[in-house]
């Protein structure tokens, strides 16, 4: 029923979905998190809405997304992007808000412009917490991928599981589940290595 080539082609298809959704989710989360953390008017306009929407399980919005976006790739990518945006947003927003004002005052003392203060002081200071949010978002992208691929997938690991379930092939269903699990482990290890090598001072302090 299935060949190795089918599984090999399914993995890139699923990773492309997860990666595309993750990219848009990161952009949304980072932009809104930084803007809301820095600017009061942006915080007043967007933070309440983000806090309300984030408590809704992304699985619950699938019927609404199907009505709005159909059952094609757009719906899947938007669902993944939505799910990924919140871990990044919360960590970025919180980290930017908690940056020590004394650091900003030092930058002002040295004559740095506000833009320079943002990119040379605020974002680097917030980076460790932001990176944790990105790691959570990457894990969330795989969770959202599992859900999204159950909706009319024509390719990917979810398609393998769907066809295997119709054929009562438990072995192939388990293969799909194992692939999802392995991808999750790889993503987590990769991000931990990124954290380790990009922030060595934190690891030395532990």
Domain of 185, in residue numbers: 4-201
138/25 Cα distance (integer angstroms): 10
Q: What is the mean pLDDT of residues 194-206?
A: 65
Q: What is the mean pLDDT of residues 170-184?
A: 85
Is 157 a member of any domain?
yes
Closest CA to 147 of 164, 167, 168, 161: 161
Closest CA to 49 of 28, 67, 80: 28
**How is residue 129 written in tokens?**
């917490």
CATH number at residue 33: 1.10.3720.10
**pTM listed for this prediction:** 0.84
Is 43 a member of any domain?
yes
2 near 176, Cβ under 8 Å?
no
Is 88 a member of any domain?
yes
Is 206 a member of any domain?
no
Is 32 a member of any domain?
yes
Residue 203's pLDDT band, with cuts at 50, 70 and 90, is low
64/177 Cα distance (integer angstroms): 27
pLDDT at residue 44 tops 60: yes
> In this predicted model, what pLDDT tens digit does every residue of 68-116 receive, in sequence order?
888 888 899 999 999 999 999 999 999 999 888 888 888 888 888 888 8
29/44 Cα distance (integer angstroms): 16
Domain count for the chain, please give it.
1
Establish how many alpha carbons lie within 13 A of residue 139's alpha carbon, considering only the half-sphere containing its beta carbon: 12
**How is residue 181 written in tokens?**
């699990």
Closest CA to 121 of 96, 143, 141: 96
pLDDT at residue 148 tops 80: yes
Is 132 a member of any domain?
yes
> In this predicted model, what pLDDT tens digit does every residue of 17-31 receive, in sequence order?
899 999 999 999 999
Give the chain's mean pLDDT. 85
53 near 81, Cβ under 8 Å?
no
Residue 22, pLDDT score:
94
Full DSSP string of 119-161 = IIIIHHHHHHHHHHHHHHHHHHHHHHHHHHTTTT-SSSHHHHH
Is 187 a member of any domain?
yes
């Amino acid at each position: 029923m299935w060949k190795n080539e089918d599984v090999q082609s399914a993995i890139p298809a699923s990773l492309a979905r997860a990666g595309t959704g993750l990219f848009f989710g990161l952009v949304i989360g980072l932009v809104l998190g930084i803007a809301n953390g820095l600017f009061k008017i942006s915080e007043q306009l967007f933070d309440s809405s983000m806090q309300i929407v984030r408590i809704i399980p992304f699985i619950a919005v699938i019927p609404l997304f199907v009505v709005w976006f159909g059952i094609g790739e757009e719906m899947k990518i938007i669902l993944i992007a939505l799910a990924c945006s919140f871990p990044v947003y919360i960590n970025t927003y919180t980290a930017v808000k908690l940056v020590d004002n004394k650091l900003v005052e030092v930058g002002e003392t040295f004559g740095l412009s506000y833009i320079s203060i943002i990119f040379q002081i605020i974002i680097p200071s917030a980076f460790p917490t932001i990176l944790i949010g990105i790691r959570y978002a990457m894990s969330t992208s795989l969770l959202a991928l599992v859900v999204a691929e159950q909706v009319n997938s024509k390719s990917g690991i979810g398609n393998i599981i769907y066809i295997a379930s119709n054929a009562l092939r438990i072995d192939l269903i388990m293969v799909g589940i194992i692939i999802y699990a392995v991808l999750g482990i790889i993503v987590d290890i990769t991000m931990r290595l990124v954290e380790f090598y990009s922030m060595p001072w934190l690891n030395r302090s532990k």
